[in-house]
Amino acid sequence: MDYTPYLQKAFRMTVHDILTDVAQNGLQSNCAYYLTFETNRPDVVLPEFVRVKYPEEITLVFENQFENLIVTDTDIQADVSFGGVLSTVCVPFIALKAFADPNHQFGLALIPEKAAEKQAESSTVHCAKIISIDEVRKLRKK
């Protein structure tokens, strides 16, 4: 019997629950979460300049420069700073390759799943609708 799918589901649920706690209660002062995920997927929402610079994968660090964390059953969404530019990122749990908290010697290796065409479209549309209030303010000033 192949137990891998069961373990992967449990690992993703663990990441989901940890990040849900962060979204609801804030990041504990002694934690830093590293999320590694595939960038070459249609269901991942990233600024184009980031996707060009990291065409295969990227590791985001949730420690200081992230805001507006939203965790759904399928996605992780946050405003993340890339070189001082705050951008909305949306990552489906099935795109994750690794999750770690090096401050606590904790890490999970994940096997990304392929996104179904319909799921990729749904995820991208859902995530693309979320913008920060700062973006709205910038648009109004123009």
How do the pLDDT tens digits run along the chain, 142 residues long? 999 999 999 999 999 999 999 999 998 888 899 999 999 999 999 999 999 999 999 999 998 778 899 999 999 999 998 888 889 999 999 999 999 999 999 999 999 998 765 444 544 445 644 444 444 445 445 5
Q: What's residue 131's pLDDT?
A: 45
Distance (Å, whole) CA 45 – CA 26: 23
Q: Do 112 and 92 contact (CB within 8 A), yes or no?
A: no
- Token couple for 35: 């999320």
Q: What's residue 28's pLDDT?
A: 85
Q: Do 10 and 99 contact (CB within 8 A), yes or no?
A: no
Q: What's residue 126's pLDDT?
A: 52
124 DSSP assignment:
H
